[in-house]
Structure 1
Amino acid sequence: MPIGPTDPVPCRVTVCRDCCCGSPKVTGIDHAEQTARLGREAPVRVSACLDVCDQANVVVVQPSSAGRAAGAGPVWLGLVNDTDATEDIAAWVRAGGPGVAPLPDILELYAFTPRERRSRSAPPPGGVG
């Protein structure tokens, strides 16, 4: 099945742009251009804080429908703070992304598993909410 405009649900990219990601705290990258560049390859959603500030700038690549059918889940990429990394992500997304194209070795350096987030409405461990 061809990937890209003919895929019923293409890869989607989420970029964190809140307290740390996309802010002057992360220097050396044009955050607006990074978002625009990724948007030329896939739909991009700008998110509030994803709660992994130690990994700023965070980009999450969600699989296309073909990728999900192959069993892929979202791939979290952190410390995406230069144009080369952005270009590597754009090329991978263009190739099909998670579940369709293998994660390039260079992007393995950026991939991480986010820690489990506790629901804001859940009581604290061992306590009463």
Structure 2
Amino acid sequence: MPEMEPAPCRIVVCRDCCCGSPKVTGVDHVAQTARLAEGAPVRISDCLGVCDQANVIVVQPSAAGRAAGGRPVWLGLVNDPDATEDILGWAHAGGPGVAPLPDILDLYAINPPGRP
């Protein structure tokens, strides 16, 4: 029986009423989503409820990250290619629970809806 690879970080990309729409100008939303998908599994979501922070991306921990106590990290205003690359680099390093959140991504961190 082949050995299973551990589940990697997953990235959730909001693409609904505000995120991924012309309301956020100057962003190639399709290219951003495709670039993220090159480095990690990506799931497209309907509205995540923080429209004032569009574009919203959530990095979910890997199995190892969850085992280490990692929690999903919500990022808002992810509207430039450098931020997309920073997210990919962090996911590649292990993401929540495995690798510390890079200082630059701390600038994008937001609270999920319903959490202070």
TM-score, scaled to structure 2:
0.93
Change (3 A) 1:7 1:100: farther
Residue in structure 2 matched with residue 82 of structure 1 by the alignment: 80
Aligned-residue offset at 1:115: 2.7
Opposite residue 25 of structure 2, the aligned amino acid is T
Q: How many residues align?
A: 112
Partner Cα distance (2:101, 2:13) in 1: 18
- Following superposition, which runs of at least 4 residues in structure 1 exceed 3 angstroms of deviation? none
Cα shift at 1:7: 4.2
Q: Rg larger in 1 or in 2?
A: 1
The AA in structure 2 aligned to 1:42 is A
Are the aligned partners of 1:7 and 1:64 in contact in 2 as well (CA < 8 Å)? no
Partner of residue 64, structure 2: 66
The one-letter amino acid of 1:13's match is I
Normalised to the residue count of structure 1, the TM-score between the two structures is 0.84
CA root-mean-square deviation: 1.2
User: Which segments of 5 or more consecutive residues in structure 2 lack a partner in the other structure?
Assistant: none
